[in-house]
Amino acid sequence: MNAPQPPPPTKQDLPIRALIAPVTPLQQNCTIVWCAKTLKAAVIDPGGEVPRLLEALESQGLTLEKIWITHGHLDHAGGTAALKAATGVPIEGPHPDDAFWIDQIEASGAKWGMPDAKGFTPDRWLQDGDVVTLGETRFEVYHCPGHTPGHVIFFHREARFAQVGDVLFQGSIGRTDFPRGDHAQLIAAITGKLWPLGDDVRFVPGHGPMSSFGQERRSNPFVADDVLSHT
């Protein structure tokens, strides 16, 4: 099992820190983010391997304050119920349009060899424009449907950092062939919600390496500016 890996170094005076821990057989990027001042942490998309996530929190001297969910797919949310049971912290997200995916987590877990995966009810459903807090920091919430109808992303404006789940990847975009997926919605969310945040924003995707919005606007074969200008 791969050990949790930190993203590339960031300025030491930034208000947040992050640690990426790929989990489940699908190697989903679960991310632990924390307020640098208070050491209060959130786990974003705990798809599974909850004991390992708890060990990572302890090794960094962090206190878990929130669980944040980008969308309701098994590999992103399958360990949510177990993490809440172990810690008692509130679950925030996704958007309520993903409730039907959360309801399928247990059946999907049995199919994919993750029998401990369970459904849950968030303590707070999230809407476009919401703000979630962590210690003394705040993240903005953007509803970005397309991969799933209730997908949200989390953005820290000062740190120029986003967790985008399966909306966007380095060199690719999220699948839209799942129930209630919508390719046009996904492209609109990327170009209308993500790109305006700035080319300098670095993001953790749901799978694979980090990138920046600027890099994807230059080179992503699905949503680069040159590609979209010819469609």
Q: Are 35 and 18 in contact (CB under 8 A)?
A: no
Provide the pairing of β-strand 131-134 with 137-143: antiparallel
Rounded to 10°, the helix 50-59/80-87 angle is 50
Q: Which of the two residues, 148 and 5, has the higher pLDDT score?
A: 148
Provide the domain count of the chain. Answer: 1
Q: What is the pLDDT of residues 169-207, one digit of tens each?
A: 999 999 999 999 999 999 999 999 999 999 999 999 999
Residue appearing with tokens 């080319």: 199
Domain that holds residue 213: 16-228
Confidence of residue 14 (pLDDT cuts 50, 70, 90): confident
- Whole-number percent of the chain with pLDDT over 70: 94
Domain membership of residue 50 (yes or no) is yes
Q: What is the pLDDT of residues 74-124, one digit of tens each?
A: 999 999 999 999 999 999 999 999 999 999 999 999 988 888 999 999 999
Give the three-class secondary structure for 78: coil
Domain membership of residue 9 (yes or no) is no
Domain membership of residue 135 (yes or no) is yes
Own/partner contacts of 24-31, CB < 8 Å, gap of 24 or more, are 24/48, 24/49, 24/74, 24/75, 24/78, 24/114, 25/112, 25/113, 25/114, 26/75, 26/112, 26/207, 27/207, 28/75, 28/76, 28/206, 28/207, 29/204, 29/205, 29/206, 29/207, 29/208, 31/163, 31/204
Phi then psi for residue 69, to 5 deg, are -120, 125
Confidence of residue 230 (pLDDT cuts 50, 70, 90): confident
Model confidence at 10: pLDDT above 90: no
Domain membership of residue 69 (yes or no) is yes
Q: Which amino acid is at 43?
A: V
Confidence of residue 5 (pLDDT cuts 50, 70, 90): low
Model confidence at 4: pLDDT above 90: no
Q: Are 120 and 81 in contact (CB under 8 A)?
A: yes
Integer Cα distance of 86 and 202 in angstroms:
31
Domain membership of residue 83 (yes or no) is yes
What's the CATH code of the domain at 187? 3.60.15.10
Domain membership of residue 8 (yes or no) is no
Confidence of residue 29 (pLDDT cuts 50, 70, 90): very high
Confidence of residue 1 (pLDDT cuts 50, 70, 90): very low
Q: Could you tell me the pTM of the whole model?
A: 0.93
Q: Which residues pair with 41 in a beta bridge?
A: 34, 64
DSSP 2: P
Structure tokens at 123: 């303590």
Model confidence at 52: pLDDT above 60: yes
Domain membership of residue 147 (yes or no) is yes
